Each structure stands twice: as structure tokens, then as C-alpha cells.
């Protein structure tokens, strides 16, 4: 009996002890953060530079107890610097060069600086290194998943985006059906090594690795404003409503259309090709066309522009005659694209709101 | 006491948004995926400058093996214009820790940026227009100024708004002269060593900057004469939009820089006139060929050769106000300083 009493008493004591411990811990956590034994200032928080270059990581490290060790660590780049000798152990100005490897992954890298004092207290800070290499002069959006479709088009696949600032790209895009999947590529003809898409480990972030990145799915048909930041690897997809009035008619004018042997730069019907206005988007015009030297003709290039079937007023030419990326309203140059007597079938998709035009092989 | 299992390997922390760009007083989210093979015990977010110190225990979630942390915090209205580092410390049931850090920056992608030659705030309001001097934005966070340095060792700073030096004024960081700081209290001037035109480029995110001397523009390409044409100049009662002498005001060509023209004028209703606004443009004293109007008539920031809108409808009274007009026809910048 007595033994049991002692046992109970000790349980009570222990539980009281636990209770007080927990209470104390809770108070500490909520109300009184322990002072940092080591503090950092003037840290080079963010560096933007290119692969293959050296950057200097800097930080002022203060320690009341005196520094025992400062480490700079980043395993992916085999950075493992350990310093243990300090002229003034209470204040150390760290300044170490680090090489950004030529094959560094295209992402933000976080180099960790850890300092430990003579009593074993430690603190850390990070230097984030973003890559200038991701500041592509042009970025394209693909709405196709099959790499072969990147090269089978005449032009316009993938779609060139607007560069709105350093590392920032934007595209107004009309999704012609629901569930269209998009990724972003700096090279028009391939998904490797870079095809930017959702990071499978984190759907709010992008990854540049073409073998891992997942497409962003546009749920419904309609216009979207798609923004990509290749420094922060973030993206934003917003529904978009175009303003203004669409043209009633859009036509192809020029030559080199296999089934229209007489349309040598005439500008009225029937010697122009009226495109079909999309039933749900008045800005969008499409038409399936055979490109080739028509029977009886001798020229071997297709030359064309788009007009509003309005004489020569209100037309679109192109930013580049051989490899067009954009239609230029009331400006630009005519196309001049080689053709043969074997016709090739293309679907022309022209968005008069965005000036984006595609000729997709059928 | 609960006996927690051994967990000898530290947890894995993957930050979703390691760099956060936001504005003063705005909420932002810090997000991360936490993972541990045995179990996650807690995570702590800490940034003493903003009194953030919070440990979230994951006991109620039964020490999960994976946890998506999404933590809302507000950037204080008083936050300094620098990069702020919020530490995330994740602890597993074995007491092993892993760390990560969010870098939170003010959205310093200002739509416009202006150059100042003095930190005297009264200079910002002592002009009709032209002070501070607008510079070019060349990309997000990237600005470029072309500046004519009249004398060696001239001092300049940059501000994102026209009327105040606070809280953001860019100048050389006193602790690192290779960088700028946006803190008006500590920013030191960028010193332009010589005379002539200089290009100053900087990035408000990385705070890198460069100063580069430009070749002297060919003096032969400067116009021989520049004049003010318009109305509302107190001492020129007859110059009501005439375009020939004597009813235009010929400016004085700078003896050193042939592209710069200056003139001290009095704005006011000339005796005998009834209009009560001043309007003007610059011409080359050449009829109406080769002239400069402004980007914005009511509030000019730069001149537009052979285009733009007439500067004007500046209210005037019978009491003349003296201004020194300085027009740099190379830079297309003009200022009217009250004398």
C-alpha cells in the first residue's frame, strides 16, 4: 500500500514536472525568443549572374562569444568551405569567391553560410544565386506536347511571347478548346534540355528541366494572359477579355497557294482567300490551305500578307519574311517562303487581337 | 512523457517561393514542402527585425511525414528597403534540424525613376518643371540615366517619386561602394568624376550600378540657336506665338556645351495683356521647322523633337516670377528653376 502511494506520488511529481516544463517551453516559444548568439548583416542576399562565372559571397558576422567556425556549404556545386581562424573572432567580414558551375541547374541556388561560436551556438543565413542565363532574349510558348510538332509547322509553332522585362515574359493566348496544355521553351525546335513547366515537386513553381517539367493546363476555352518569370521560376495564368472591335473579314493575299492559280497579288475576291471567322472568337480566323506552285505557274516561293478585304487598307505583313513569328499590322514585310510543285497542307490560325499566326502542318 | 522515435536523418525542406517580392503593408505567403522519413515535429519562422518568431508544433497532425507549410505574414509599413531574410527551421521527431531562408524584398520595380543633384528637399518643389530629372527605364528593375556633368565630382542620387526623398533614395551604399542602397538616411552620392555626358545604369533589385563616360557629342550637330516661342513672358508683351525675332526669346548657348541653352525669364501676364496662362515650346529660330514640344503639356518631363504637346497653360498673374530655363537639346531634358 505504502509502495503504491509512493508510486502515485512520484507519477504526480513527474507529471507536474512535465506540465511545468511544457508551460515554460510554451512561454519561451511564444513570448521570449532567445537572443541570437550570432548575427549576420550586409549579406549579399541575392546575386544574379551567369553560369561559369565566379561571384563573391559576403556577410558580416558578429558573435559575442567569439566565432569558432564559419562554413559555406552548397552540395550541388561541391562548395564546402570551413574557416576556423579569425583575426577578430567577435566580428568577421566573410568574403569568399564561389564559382557558378558551367552546368549549374537552371534555378535559384541557395548557398548556406553557417557560423558557430565557441559555446556551440550557431546561426545561418543564405545567399540566393539567380541565373542571368535564364534571361532569354526570346521565350516561346508551346501548346503541343509532341516534339515533332515543333518542327513540322511552316511557322508559328511555338508562339513567341512578349518580353516585358528582364526574365519576364507574357503572352495573350486564345485557347481554342478546353484542356490545352502549355510549356515554355527558349529554343523553337526542341524540348531539351530546357522546357519550362510546372515542377512536379511543387505545382506553384516552374522547373526548367524538359524531362521533368509538367504542362500548365488551361481549363477552359478562351483568352488567357500567361506570365512567366524565369528568375523566380513563377508563373501566373489569368482569364483575359480582349477589348476593341474585331475586323469582319480577313483574307490571305499573295501567291503560292496551290488551289488558287490566279491569285498573283490581286486584292479583291475571288483572287484572295477569305479565312473562316471562328464562331466563338471574332478576333480569330482559320483556314486550311495547300501551299505549292500552282499548275501552270513557274514561281517557287510563296509570298503573302493578310488583309481585311478592303483594298490595301488595313493589312498585316510579318516581322520576318522567311521565318515569321508575328503579324505586323500595317507594317512588316511580305513572306517569301520556298515551295515546290508538291502541295503541302497547312491550317492557318490567325489571331488578329494578338498578331500571332500559325501555319500548322496537317 | 511521449517517447518519440529515433530520426537520425534531418528533414528535407523545399521552399516554394524562396524569393518574395511584395509591397509595404501587403500580406504575402511563405510556402514550403517539409518531409521527413520518420516524422516532422515542428517548424519555426524567425525574423527578429519584424518581431516574427513562431514555432508551430505538428503534434496535432500526428507528426506527419510530409507537410505543406503556407504561412501568411505582412510586410510592415516601416520595412527597410533591403532584402529581408526570414529563416525557416524544421525539426523532426529525432530533434534533427534543417533550415531554409525566404528572401523578402520590396517591389522596387518602380514605373519611373528620377535623378537629383541635391538632397535639399526644397529643390524638388522650387521648379515649374524638370526637377527631378526623369531617366529611362530599360527593363524591370533596370534604369539608365544620361547625365551632363557640368563640373568634376558632381553628386547625384536617384528617387522613384518626384516630390520626396523619403523613404527611398538610391545612392552608394556606405558599407559597400560597389553597390547602391535605397535607404535615404544612409545613401551616399554617386560621384561623377569628370565633366561631360555620363551613362549611369543601375538595378534596383540587385543594387548593382555602373558609371560610364560617353563620347562627347559632335559639336557640329548642335543647333546654332534655340529660342522660346509662346506667350506669358512678362518682359515680352508682343510674343503671342510669333515665330521670328524680336517676338521669340533667344536663349544663351552654353560656352562649353553647344547642346545646352539657358535663359533667365520672368513668367507673368505682360502689362496690357489679358490672358492668364503661359504656353511655350522651343524652336531653332527657323520658322516652325525644327522645334521641341513636351511629353506632357501640363506636367512636362522631357522634350520631344518635332513632336509632343505644347508646354502650357501654366497659370500666371500680374506679378512676374523669375525662372532660369535650362534646355539640353542632346538629352532632351529641360528644367525651369525659380530664382
pLDDT of residue B82: 83
From CA B72, how far away is CA B95, in angstroms rounded? 26
- Does ipTM surpass 0.95 in this model? no
CATH for B219-338 is 2.60.40.3620
| B114-213 CATH, one of 2.160.20.10, 3.40.1520.20, 2.60.40.3620, 1.20.1050.10 | 2.60.40.3620
DSSP 3-state of A48: strand
Residues A128, B142: C-beta atoms closer than 8 Å: no
Contact (CB<8Å) A110/B100? yes
Interface probe, candidates A20, A46, A76, A235, chain B, greatest B C-beta count within 10 A: A46
**b/e burial code for range A257-282 (CB count within 10 A of at least 16 → b):** bbebeebeeebeeebbbebebbeebe
Predicted local confidence at residue A31, as pLDDT: 63
Tens of pLDDT along chain A (362 residues)? 444 444 444 444 444 444 444 444 445 555 667 888 999 998 999 998 899 999 999 999 999 999 999 999 999 999 999 999 999 999 999 999 999 999 999 999 999 999 999 999 999 999 999 998 999 999 999 999 999 999 999 999 999 999 987 789 999 999 999 999 999 999 999 999 999 999 998 888 899 999 999 999 999 999 999 999 998 899 999 999 999 999 999 999 999 999 999 899 998 888 899 999 999 999 999 999 999 999 999 999 999 999 998 888 899 999 999 999 999 999 999 999 999 999 999 999 999 999 999 999 99
Domain chopping of chain A, boundaries? 38-133, 135-239, 251-361
Asked if residue A297 lies in contact with residue A262, where contact means CB atoms within 8 angstroms, the answer is: no
Chain A 44-83, CB below 8 Å of chain B: which residues? 45-48, 58
Out of A43, A47, A201, closest to residue B85 by CB: A43
Identify the residue whose cell numbers are 568624376.
Answer: B193
Quick one: closest CA in A to B83, which residue? A45
Q: Give domain A135-239's CATH architecture.
A: Sandwich (2.60)
**Which of A11, A33, A38 is the best mutation test for B, with the most CBs of B within 10 A?**
A33
CA distance A265 to A259: 15
Chain B residues within 8 A of A234 when measuring between CB atoms: 17
How far is residue B143's CA from residue B202's CA, in Å, rounded to a whole number?
6
Q: pLDDT category, B53, cuts 50, 70, 90?
A: very high
Å between B19 CA and nearest CA of chain A: 7
Q: What is the DSSP letter of B286?
A: B
Size of interface A-B (CB pairs under 8 A): 75
The answer to whether the B114-213 and B219-338 domains have the same CATH topology is yes
Contact B140 A166 (CB under 8 A): yes
On chain B, the residues whose CB falls within 8 A of the CB of A29 are 54-55
Give yes or no for A10 touching B (CB within 8 A). no
The domain at A38-133 falls in which architecture?
Answer: Sandwich (2.60)
pLDDT at position B24 over 60:
yes
Whether B101 and A42 lie within 8 Å, measured CB to CB: no
Q: Dihedral sign, CA of A310, A313, A317, A319? A: negative
**Residues of B301-326 as b/e, b for ≥16 C-beta within 10 angstroms?**
bbbbeeebebbbebebeeebbebebb
Instruction: Judge residue A114's burial from the number of C-beta atoms within 10 Å of its C-beta, 0-12 exposed, 13-18 middle, 19 or more buried.
Output: middle
Selection from B106, B19, B25 nearest residue B73 by Cα: B25
A47, A112, A128 ranked by CB distance to B18: nearest: A128
Report residue B23's pLDDT band, with 50, 70 and 90 as the boundaries. confident
Whether the Cβ atoms of residue B16 and residue B67 lie closer than 8 Å to each other: no
pLDDT reported for residue B1: 59
Question: Min CA distance, A74 vs chain B (Å)?
Answer: 12
Global pTM exceeds 0.80: no
B4-8, B107-111, B323-327: range with highest mean pLDDT: B323-327
A30: chain B residues, CB-CB within 8 Å: 54
Amino acid A174: pLDDT = 97
- How far is A33 from chain B, CA to nearest CA, in Å? 7
Shortest distance between the Cα of A234 and any Cα of chain B, in A, equals: 8
Distance between B37 CA and the closest CA of chain A, angstroms: 16
Domain A251-361 has CATH 1.10.10: no
Q: Domain B12-106 is in which class?
A: mainly beta
Query: CA-CA distance, A340 to A256, in Å (whole number)?
Result: 9
Question: Can you tell me the distance from the alpha carbon of A60 to that of B219, in angstroms, rounded to the nearest whole number?
Answer: 50
Helix (H) or strand (E) segment spanning residue A18: helix A2-31
- Mean pLDDT confidence for B117-145: 92
Grid cell, residue B302, equals 522631357
Q: What is the mean predicted confidence (pLDDT) over B60-75? A: 94
- Average pLDDT in the B240-260 region? 93
CB contact under 8 A, B206 and A168: no
Q: How large is the average pLDDT for residues B146-164?
A: 94
Q: According to the model, what pLDDT value does residue A246 have?
A: 95
Of B110, B218, B115, nearest to B171 by C-alpha is B115
* Domain locations along chain B: 12-106, 114-213, 219-338
Give the pLDDT of residue A322: 93
Beta-carbon separation of A204 and B85 below 8 A: no
Amino acid at each position: 500500500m505504502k509502495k503504491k502511494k509512493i508510486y502515485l506520488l512520484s507519477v504526480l511529481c513527474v507529471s507536474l514536472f512535465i506540465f511545468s516544463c511544457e508551460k515554460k517551453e510554451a512561454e519561451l516559444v511564444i513570448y521570449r525568443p532567445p537572443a541570437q548568439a550570432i548575427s549576420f548583416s550586409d549579406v549579399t542576399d541575392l546575386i544574379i549572374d551567369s553560369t561559369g562565372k565566379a561571384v563573391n559571397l559576403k556577410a558580416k558576422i558578429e558573435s559575442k562569444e567569439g566565432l569558432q567556425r564559419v562554413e559555406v556549404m552548397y552540395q550541388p556545386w561541391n562548395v564546402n568551405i570551413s574557416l576556423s581562424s579569425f583575426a577578430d573572432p567577435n566580428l568577421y567580414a566573410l568574403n569568399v569567391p564561389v564559382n557558378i558551375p558551367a552546368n549549374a541547374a537552371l534555378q535559384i541556388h541557395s548557398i548556406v553560410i553557417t557560423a558557430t561560436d565557441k559555446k556551440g551556438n550557431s546561426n545561418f543565413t543564405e545567399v540566393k544565386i539567380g541565373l542571368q542565363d535564364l534571361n532569354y532574349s526570346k521565350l516561346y510558348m508551346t501548346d503541343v506536347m509532341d516534339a515533332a510538332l515543333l518542327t513540322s509547322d511552316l511557322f508559328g509553332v511555338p508562339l513567341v511571347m512578349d518580353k516585358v522585362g528582364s526574365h519576364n515574359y507574357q503572352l495573350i493566348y486564345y485557347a481554342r478548346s478546353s484542356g490545352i496544355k502549355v510549356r515554355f521553351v527558349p529554343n523553337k525546335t526542341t524540348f531539351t534540355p530546357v522546357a519550362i513547366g510546372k515542377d512536379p515537386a511543387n505545382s506553384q513553381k516552374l522547373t526548367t528541366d524538359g524531362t521533368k517539367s509538367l504542362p500548365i493546363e488551361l481549363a477552359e476555352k478562351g483568352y488567357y494572359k500567361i506570365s512567366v518569370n524565369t528568375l523566380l521560376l513563377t508563373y501566373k495564368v489569368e482569364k483575359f477579355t480582349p477589348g476593341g472591335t474585331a475586323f469582319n473579314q480577313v483574307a490571305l493575299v499573295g501567291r503560292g497557294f496551290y488551289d488558287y492559280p490566279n491569285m498573283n497579288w490581286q486584292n479583291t475576291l475571288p483572287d484572295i482567300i477569305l479565312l473562316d471567322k471562328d464562331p466563338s472568337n471574332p478576333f480569330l480566323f482559320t483556314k486550311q490551305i495547300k501551299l505549292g506552285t500552282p499548275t501552270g505557274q513557274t514561281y517557287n516561293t510563296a509570298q503573302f500578307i493578310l488583309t481585311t478585304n478592303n483594298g490595301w487598307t488595313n493589312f498585316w505583313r510579318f516581322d520576318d519574311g522567311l521565318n515569321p513569328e508575328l503579324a505586323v499590322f500595317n507594317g512588316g514585310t511580305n513572306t517569301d517562303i520556298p515551295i515546290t510543285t508538291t502541295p503541302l497542307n497547312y491550317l492557318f490560325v490567325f489571331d488578329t487581337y494578338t498578331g500571332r499566326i500559325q501555319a500548322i502542318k496537317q | 512523457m511521449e517517447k518519440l522515435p529515433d530520426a537520425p536523418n534531418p528533414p528535407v525542406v523545399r521552399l516554394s517561393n524562396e524569393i518574395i517580392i511584395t509591397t509595404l503593408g501587403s500580406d504575402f505567403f511563405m510556402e514550403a514542402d517539409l518531409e521527413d522519413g520518420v516524422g516532422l515535429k515542428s517548424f519555426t519562422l524567425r525574423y527578429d527585425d519584424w518581431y516574427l518568431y513562431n514555432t508551430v508544433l505538428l503534434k496535432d497532425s500526428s507528426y506527419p511525414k510530409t507537410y505543406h507549410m503556407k504561412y501568411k505574414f505582412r510586410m510592415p509599413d516601416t520595412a527597410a528597403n533591403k532584402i529581408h531574410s526570414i529563416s525557416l527551421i524544421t525539426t523532426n521527431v529525432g530533434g534533427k534540424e534543417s533550415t531554409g531562408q525566404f528572401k523578402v524584398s520590396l517591389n522596387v520595380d518602380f514605373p519611373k525613376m528620377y535623378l537629383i543633384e541635391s538632397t535639399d528637399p526644397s529643390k524638388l518643389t522650387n521648379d515649374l518643371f524638370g526637377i527631378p530629372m526623369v531617366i529611362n527605364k530599360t527593363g524591370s528593375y533596370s534604369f539608365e540615366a544620361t547625365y551632363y556633368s557640368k563640373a568634376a565630382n558632381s553628386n547625384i542620387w536617384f528617387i522613384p517619386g518626384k516630390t520626396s526623398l523619403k523613404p527611398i533614395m538610391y545612392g552608394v551604399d556606405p558599407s559597400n561602394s560597389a553597390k547602391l542602397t535605397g535607404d535615404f538616411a544612409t545613401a551616399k552620392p554617386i560621384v561623377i568624376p569628370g565633366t561631360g555626358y555620363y551613362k549611369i545604369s543601375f538595378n534596383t533589385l540587385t543594387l548593382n550600378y555602373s558609371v560610364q563616360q560617353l563620347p562627347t557629342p559632335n559639336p557640329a550637330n548642335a543647333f546654332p540657336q534655340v529660342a522660346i516661342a509662346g506667350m506669358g513672358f512678362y518682359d515680352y508683351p508682343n510674343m503671342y506665338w510669333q515665330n521670328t525675332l524680336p517676338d521669340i526669346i533667344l536663349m544663351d548657348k552654353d560656352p562649353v556645351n553647344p547642346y545646352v541653352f539657358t535663359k533667365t525669364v520672368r513668367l507673368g501676364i505682360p502689362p496690357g495683356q489679358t490672358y492668364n496662362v503661359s504656353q511655350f515650346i522651343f524652336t531653332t529660330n527657323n520658322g516652325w521647322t525644327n522645334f521641341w514640344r513636351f511629353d506632357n503639356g501640363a506636367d512636362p518631363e522631357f522634350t520631344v523633337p518635332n513632336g509632343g504637346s505644347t508646354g502650357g497653360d501654366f497659370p500666371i498673374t500680374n506679378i512676374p516670377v523669375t525662372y532660369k530655363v535650362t534646355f539640353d537639346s542632346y538629352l532632351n531634358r529641360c528644367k525651369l528653376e525659380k530664382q
